[in-house]
Amino acid sequence: MSSASFSKQEQSEIDFGFSKVPLPEKQGLVDDVFHSVAAKYDVMNDVMSLGQHRIWKDVLVQELHPSGHWRHLDMAGGTGDVAFKIVKAAGLDSRVIVSDINQSMLDVGEERAATQNMLGQVSFRQANAENLPFEDNSFDGYTIAFGIRNVPRRELALREAFRVLKRGGRFMCLEFSHVDVPVLESIYKAYSFSLIPSLGGMIAGDASSYRYLVESIAQFPSAETFRQLIGDAGFARTSFTKLSGGIVAIHSGWKL
Ligand SMILES: C[S@@+](CC[C@H](N)C(=O)[O-])C[C@H]1O[C@@H](n2cnc3c(N)ncnc32)[C@H](O)[C@@H]1O
């Protein structure tokens, strides 16, 4: 999209980690990060979270409780983790679209789906969360895990989520949040700011992408502020649950 298609307000600066960049430039920078880390993304997730991301994703899917002819959109779905868990939970009649702006991430996901014989139920579609190529009222559920903080115009993505969900459909978001236990907070900060970029350098050969990821976590709004943003997009009965002392939060909202 050219900068000409952004309104005056949107030409303002926006956070990219701890830096400020013009809004139209952010997506390109985010895309560079995920093109660079795609091949090592899954292994880095396990290393960085000490395997914890699998448990958080399990909790997300348990809470969603998909079943039967479930039609689902896993947005910013990357390499497919959440989608695979949803079809396993919902059964053979369910269908999940993994959508992501980044084809490198989707390519890794599609290969994993093929290895796990899931291509009959899981499909992959490149798209920007801010402007979805899906019809209104198409899905029973919409998830976005560790994706929304990378999206430049989150309010647009939330409105698109609302549009594509059916009435009675559920929005769920798993995202990093803010640790509320003081001792844990200092350990977590030390771990994320010093160790994670070094691990990213060693394992993925890219420390600066992991520095961005850590900084973007610190810049993400509080769970309460984000809950209000979800409500502003039209969702009802908005709520969140913090896990692991507030390292992550699971947000929920309904299209009623
Ligand atoms: C941290 S990864 C999360 C992947 C996966 N959901 C998971 O939990 O492992 C963030 C993903 O958000 C995607 N993303 C960033 N901006 C996006 C946008 N505007 N629309 C769709 N996906 C986007 C990135 O390409 C990347 O795959």
How do residues 189-219 score in pLDDT, each as one tens digit?
888 998 999 999 998 899 999 999 999 999 9
pLDDT at res. 12: 87
pLDDT digits (tens, 9 = 90+) for 12-57: 899 999 999 999 999 999 999 999 999 999 999 999 999 999 999 9
Q: Which range among 7-11, 93-97, 117-121 shows the weakest confidence by mean pLDDT? A: 7-11
Instruction: Specify the number of domains making up the chain.
Output: 2
Whether residue 68 is found in the same domain as residue 154: yes
Please state the rounded mean pLDDT for residues 61-69: 98
Whether residue 113 is found in the same domain as residue 232: yes
Percent of the chain with pLDDT over 70: 96
Q: Is the CB of 109 under 6 A from ligand 1?
A: no
pLDDT at res. 87: 98
Whether residue 148 is found in the same domain as residue 170: yes
pLDDT at res. 4: 41
CA distance linking residue 209 with residue 239, whole number of Å: 31
Whether residue 74 is found in the same domain as residue 160: yes
The residue segments making up the domain with residue 41 are 36-178+222-254
CA distance linking residue 29 with residue 24, whole number of Å: 10
Ligand 1 centre distance from Cα of residue 3 (Å): 22
Q: Which of 100, 103, 215 to mutate to test the pocket of ligand 1 (most atoms within 8 A of CB)?
A: 100
Whether residue 43 is found in the same domain as residue 168: yes
Q: Is the CB of 200 under 6 A from ligand 1?
A: no
CATH of the domain at 170: 3.40.50.150
3 in any annotated domain: no
> Encoding tokens for residue 105?
């991430």
Half-sphere exposure in the Cβ direction for 230 (13 Å, CA): 28
Ligand 1 centre distance from Cα of residue 10 (Å): 21
Please state the rounded mean pLDDT for residues 102-124: 98
202 in any annotated domain: yes
> What is the average pLDDT score of the chain?
94
13 in any annotated domain: no
162 in any annotated domain: yes
Whether residue 146 is found in the same domain as residue 246: yes
Whether residue 191 is found in the same domain as residue 243: no
24 in any annotated domain: no
Question: Phi, psi (5° rounding) for residue 180?
Answer: -105, 10
Whether residue 243 is found in the same domain as residue 126: yes
Q: Is the CB of 77 under 6 A from ligand 1?
A: yes
Whether residue 97 is found in the same domain as residue 193: no
Percent of the chain with pLDDT over 90: 89
Please state the rounded mean pLDDT for residues 236-255: 97
Listed residue (182, 178, 176, 112) closest to 146, CA to CA: 176
Whether residue 98 is found in the same domain as residue 204: no
